[in-house]
Amino acid sequence: MRTLICGSLAFDSIMVFQDHFKHHILPDKIHMLNVSFLVPEMRREFGGCAGNIAYNLKLLGGEPVIMATVGEDFSLYADRLDALGISREAVRTMPGSYTAQAFITTDLADNQITAFHPGAMFFSHENDASQARDIGLGIVSPDGRDGMLSHCRQFHAAGTPFVFDPGQGMPLFSGSELLEMVELADYVTLNDYEAELLQARTELSLDALAARVKCLVVTRGEEGSRFYVEGRQIDIPVVPAKAVVDPTGCGDAFRAGLLYGIAHGWDWEATGQLASLMGSIKIEHRGGQNHTPSRDAIAGLFKATFGKTL
């Protein structure tokens, strides 16, 4: 099944400052801050929620189709997607724009200073989710504000089941807008903080929100995840990782497992278990797309951990 993944594609430039920010920022001079950090270590990662979700779904043998708006500097990422066999037929280049980019400087205490340039994400509403061909399932993940709203409406109007994944885009919307997108969706996925924020914005409990969709999923870090479905709750344990290296992109890997299970008609327990496994595999590697297990390797881990066949 071809799955349309609406969301961001981005470059992440990650730099390491070999000291502590606090040694170079004078508290009584913050009103006139002017600092420079030498960062001899730097790496550039391929990221964005749509890119990360599609990457993980492809590892599972799924058929992701990315819908995103990118800038004129996208060629390196485009070459990567082509090499991975991930369709970019619904990726649109916006003239005069940069691809979304995050510039992250980390010190030795893991404090971070981040600057994010959304660039071409501002134009995500110019893509129409209903125009993508042969799509059986979709997801609306963090993207430009207007794009997220319109893509939810387009999926619903086209009769295509989809997952609403507001993520870090949630503060962009009013309570009524969030409730509209929940009611248009078939499935909703959140982390525990987002779940609290959604309840506060909509003034509805998780049980009340879950009653509006087929399934509402809340990830809870080390406590695993909870699936709210048909008036009951299904708790899925976290899969212990060999090493906790970097949580960046773990939520996106989880969502890829969720999409795979939905696309293949799995029950919610098995779907949650696969999603949990994908998050565990990712957390053992730095960056959102640097883990490279084969599908057979994932299947072997799934069998060994849960006794189930991929």
Q: What is the pLDDT of residues 10-25, one digit of tens each?
A: 999 989 899 999 888 8
- What's the pLDDT at 283? 93
- What's the pLDDT at 41? 87
Q: How far apart are CA 51 and CA 62, in angstroms?
A: 14
- What's the pLDDT at 31? 76
Q: Is 211 within a domain?
A: yes
Q: How far apart are CA 126 and CA 78, in angstroms?
A: 19
- What's the pLDDT at 81? 98
Q: Is 129 within a domain?
A: yes
Tell me, what CATH number does 45's domain have?
A: 3.40.1190.20
Provide the residue type at 280 as one letter.
S
The tokens describing 111, both together, are 């404090």
Provide the residue type at 34 as one letter.
N
Closest by CA position to 192, among listed 216, 175, 162: 216
Is the CB of residue 15 less than 8 Å from the CB of residue 102? no
Q: Is 120 within a domain?
A: yes
Q: How many domains does the chain have?
A: 1
- What's the pLDDT at 108? 87
Q: Is 309 within a domain?
A: no
What is the Cβ-side half-sphere exposure of residue 223, based on CA atoms within 13 angstroms? 9
Strand order in the sheet with 187-191: 87-93, 63-70, 2-6, 137-140, 162-164, 187-191, 215-219, 225-229, 232-236
Is the CB of residue 236 less than 8 Å from the CB of residue 224? yes
Q: Which domain holds residue 145?
A: 2-22+39-301
Give pLDDT < 50 ranges for the chain: none
Is the CB of residue 302 less than 8 Å from the CB of residue 42? no
Q: How far apart are CA 303 and CA 310, in angstroms?
A: 8
Q: Is 30 within a domain?
A: no
Q: How far apart are CA 22 and CA 17, in angstroms?
A: 12
Q: Taking the model in full, what pTM does it have? A: 0.94
Q: Is 32 within a domain?
A: no
Q: How far apart are CA 13 and CA 25, in angstroms?
A: 22
Q: Is 230 within a domain?
A: yes
For residue 104, CA distances in Å to 12, 17, 22 come to 7, 10, 17
Instruction: Give the N- to C-terminal CA distance of the chain in Å, as an integer.
Output: 15
Q: Is 306 within a domain?
A: no
